[in-house]
Amino acid sequence: MKTKQLFTLVLTVVLVCACKTSPFTGKKTLNFVSNDQLFPLAFQQYDQFLSENNVVTGTADANMVKRVGEKIAVAAERYLTALGEPGYLKDYRWEYNLVNDDAVNAWAMPGGKIVVYTGILPITQSERGLAMVMGHELAHALADHGAQRMSAAQIQQGVGLGVAVGAGLSDTTPAQQQAVMQLYGVGSQVLGMLPFSRSHETQADEIGIVIAAIAGYDPYEAANLWKRMKANSGGQAPPQILSTHPSNDSRIANLTRMAPVAVKEAAKFGVTDFN
């Protein structure tokens, strides 16, 4: 069997065997990195990050971050139980910290480790706004987006090797090899990795707004938050096709569409008052 054919066969087997069903969509996802592999590493990196940065404790804002995180995590467990996944969160170790940093950002690591930067608080403006941010970040952790991106990166590298083999680059000059691989790198990013990343952001928006609503936070605040984010950016953003995130306008439109859906989902859990 030729090397190219063998590579294609192995890659196909990996893709078929590496699918995991999402409890949120019922669809197969690309994921061959187990929680047993990923979570300990994420927890270690999170602890290291906290040790190297200025964690805010004991303030009203720090307490608010922990309060919102705890409420949303409880809502996530209720939601997953209703989806038929009562044990889904058994390996998660939730932690929510406020870090003194001017960056307008928040992020989550696999396994439920979340950081909010102080720089985003003037834009969230309230506990409701913060809940929309933290719901989004928590959704990344719930949906295994970290593992999926690691899996996709490994596939990207593997396909790159296949391109090199298939193109017969061993018989070409270094300049020709570099040109072919650069074309592959750009193409795989614009047509593969970036749309993959944008789909994760959209999914985290949609899962996060529902969970925040189940936690008792007004889902209509999500679109308002992104209007403020858009205003804060001053219109400075790359074209959506070149970005890891959907455009602000796309997010505002999608979150506006999702708000009444989230209201209906929250009502199933007896949550009808968002005040």
> What are the φ and ψ backbone dihedral angles of 57, each rounded to 5 degrees?
-135, 150
3-state DSSP assignment of residue 93: coil
Q: How far is CA 63 from CA 59, 74, 137, 210, 253, in A?
A: 6, 17, 18, 23, 31
Mode of pairing for the β-strands spanning 95-99 and 55-56:
antiparallel
SS percent in the chain: helix, strand, coil, step 5: 65, 10, 25
In 60-180, beta strands by DSSP E: 95-99, 106-109, 113-117
Instruction: Report whether 65 contacts 97 (CB < 8 A).
Output: yes
* Active-site position among 77, 95, 137, 221: 137
CB neighbours (10 Å) of residue 2? 9
Mode of pairing for the β-strands spanning 113-117 and 95-99:
parallel
Active site residue 127: no
* Helix 194-214 / helix 145-166 crossing angle, nearest 10 deg: 170
In the chain, beta strands by DSSP E: 19-21, 28-30, 55-56, 95-99, 106-109, 113-117
CA angle 212, 247, 255 (to 5 degrees): 30
CA–CA gap between residue 9 and residue 128 (Å, rounded): 50
DSSP letter at 107 equals: E
Residue 180: CA count within 13 A, CB half-sphere: 18
Residues with a catalytic annotation lie at: 137
